Chain A
């Protein structure tokens, strides 16, 4: 059910963004906004979902939640990388620089990206088992605290690194812009749900095959 829904939502979102939404005369590259921001929000949703599953690992001793938490964070890291790429393209098209330290969201995503890449290094250097589930879950929960703290830190750092020159808080979104934005966000979230269920099914089959192989040998 999810994959067709994702395809339909994506087709709708793309046609709305390119054919319906009025063009911003000052910033032709502004259409990236309809991809960049939904991708970023989806990435937060992935990390949040991963942290919720991590909490279940520690709290309810739910061993199925371990792989669910991992898959959510894996998808979140992919969406996070896409956020960095789309943000960088937007910055290049609009302001002529590939990277802007004055863009809070981009800097925050860079910090989070580094943090969650370390999650994979941690996870893959521990033998599978309850130990690994615990360590991964604790680290995933650290992310929930780190995200707002880093956001605050980046805001504070602007006072002595350099003041904000560019802001993305442009004019308020009009009705059609907001509608296109919401469809795009729904498409991204459905895409995440699709990838999540596919990867999760793959991991579960993988684990079953391993168990069967061990039972045979």
Chain B
């Protein structure tokens, strides 16, 4: 039980910081809407709705990257990370708290992005929304993890997309499949499998990212 209290406290801290400073979320919202407008001009009129659905996934992944690149800035600049590692909380709770707060930001950004996509491009079915929700879990689990890795390097945020995108390719495959194929069950199951596998390996190995 202690573990979940720690996770909730850490996630709440990030949300509270965001409510006070409003650093990340407005940037994500503006970015995703601007990206959708760019995509409108990038798609020729005969490209059709399916191409638009593919680009929705590009928008989601890049918006998540934008938010994740800010995820550990407070920890690094204020030296919070050393304090968290020294605290009696389990190290994986640090990752889980960050993944949950990143997930909250991404869901809020999508609460604007998906209706905007609906208005600008085409309607969304239940399978697409389920795919987005499942992919969000994977994006935030892996993203919070590799963002912590990139924070430990000299290159900082520059490294995050390089580390993250090869890992995100299966998520895009699952997500686009769930959006465009008639029987989306296999793709949703694949996304769930990805979430379970990568969440487990992130949970098990986060300790080694923050300690020496």
- Chain A residues lying within 8 Å of B181, measured Cβ to Cβ, are 159-160
- Contact A138/B205 with A114-B166, A122-B153, A156-B187 known, Cβ cut-off 8 Å: yes
Contact, CB under 8 Å: A153 / B190: yes
Contact, CB under 8 Å: A125 / B177: no
- Contact A142/B201 with A137-B208, A160-B181 known, Cβ cut-off 8 Å: yes
- Contact A58/B170 with A121-B159, A122-B153, A160-B176 known, Cβ cut-off 8 Å: no
Contact, CB under 8 Å: B212 / A130: yes
Contact, CB under 8 Å: A135 / B209: yes
- Contact A121/B155 with A130-B212, A159-B181 known, Cβ cut-off 8 Å: yes
Contact, CB under 8 Å: A126 / B174: no
- Contact A114/B190 with A130-B212, A141-B205, A153-B170 known, Cβ cut-off 8 Å: no
Contact, CB under 8 Å: A154 / B173: yes
Say whether B192 faces chain A, with CB atoms less than 8 Å apart.
no
Give the most central of B162, B163, B170: most A CB within 10 Å: B170
Complex Cα distance, B153 from A129, in Å, reads: 12
Contact, CB under 8 Å: A156 / B209: no
Say whether B167 faces chain A, with CB atoms less than 8 Å apart.
yes
Contact, CB under 8 Å: A152 / B170: yes
Instruction: Give the secondary structure class of A's interface.
Output: helix
Contact, CB under 8 Å: B187 / A126: no
Of A30-38, A89-97, A143-151, the one contacting chain B is A143-151
Q: How far is the CB of B209 from chain A (nearest CB, A)?
A: 6
Say whether A131 faces chain B, with CB atoms less than 8 Å apart.
yes
Contact, CB under 8 Å: B167 / A146: yes
Q: Pick the contact of A160 from B163, B177, B198 — CB < 8 Å?
A: B177
Say whether A197 faces chain B, with CB atoms less than 8 Å apart.
no
Say whether B152 faces chain A, with CB atoms less than 8 Å apart.
yes
Q: Quick one: CB contact mask for B169-193 with A, threshold 8 Å, 1 for yes?
A: 1100110110011000011001001
- Contact A156/B173 with A122-B163, A134-B212 known, Cβ cut-off 8 Å: yes
- Contact A141/B153 with A114-B166, A135-B209 known, Cβ cut-off 8 Å: no
Complex Cα distance, B165 from A160, in Å, reads: 21
Complex Cα distance, B169 from A127, in Å, reads: 29
Say whether A111 faces chain B, with CB atoms less than 8 Å apart.
yes
- Contact A135/B212 with A141-B205, A153-B170, A160-B181 known, Cβ cut-off 8 Å: no
Q: Pick the contact of B149 from A127, A139, A156 — CB < 8 Å?
A: A139
Instruction: With CB as the reference atom, state the residue of chain A lying closest to B164.
Output: A118
Complex Cα distance, B208 from A136, in Å, reads: 10
Complex Cα distance, B206 from A58, in Å, reads: 11
Q: How far is the CB of A75 from chain B (nearest CB, A)?
A: 19
Q: Pick the contact of B177 from A111, A131, A149, A159 — CB < 8 Å?
A: A159
Contact, CB under 8 Å: B166 / A153: no
- Chain A residues lying within 8 Å of B176, measured Cβ to Cβ, are 157, 160
Cβ contacts A to B, 8 pairs, < 8 Å: A114-B166, A125-B153, A125-B155, A135-B208, A139-B149, A141-B201, A145-B198, A157-B176
Given contacts A115-B167, A145-B198, A153-B190, 5 further A-B contacts (CB under 8 A): A121-B159, A122-B163, A126-B153, A137-B208, A146-B170
